[in-house]
Amino acid sequence: MESYILLNNLRFFAHHGVGEQETIVGNEFTVCLKLQVDISHAMETDNVTDTVSYADVYEAVKTEMDIPSKLLEHVAGRIIRSLFDKFPTIEGIELQLFKRTPPMEADIETAGVEIKVKRPL
């Protein structure tokens, strides 16, 4: 059985960006996570200690989102490393990170990155 914990459209206000104005003014960002976790034991016990807590994952992501970076790729990498470090039962991560209304001359709602990675051996 493959099982996943999903956190969809976590919203943050942060100061990521290449341009100086972006780091001063900030922008809205959205994070979507699909965490591969064996939840079979939690299905039986109904105990949060037998799974990965959504609230704890949110706090780990928020900590990384609060640290300004130039590139979304850098932020995404930090989030992935943090989640693997803090939650040893996470086997794989699919992450999407979007910046809303990026400062470019285009009619665009979001721009972002998507990363799919398994836990390093």
Q: What is the CATH classification number for the domain harbouring 84?
A: 3.30.1130.10
Determine the structural domain holding residue 65 and report its residue range: 4-118
Q: Which residues form the catalytic set?
A: 99
- Per DSSP, the residues of the chain read ---EEEEEEEEEEE---SSHHHHHH-EEEEEEEEEEE--HHHHHH--GGGS--HHHHHHHHHHHHTS--S-HHHHHHHHHHHHHHH-TTEEEEEEEEEEES-SSSS--SEEEEEEEEEPP-
pLDDT tens column, 57-111: 999 999 999 999 999 999 999 999 999 999 999 999 999 999 998 888 888 899 9
Q: What is the mean pLDDT of residues 3-32?
A: 93
What confidence score (pLDDT) does residue 77 get? 98
Opening angle at CA 111, ends 109 and 115, nearest 5: 140
What does pLDDT average to over the chain? 94
The total domain count for the chain is: 1
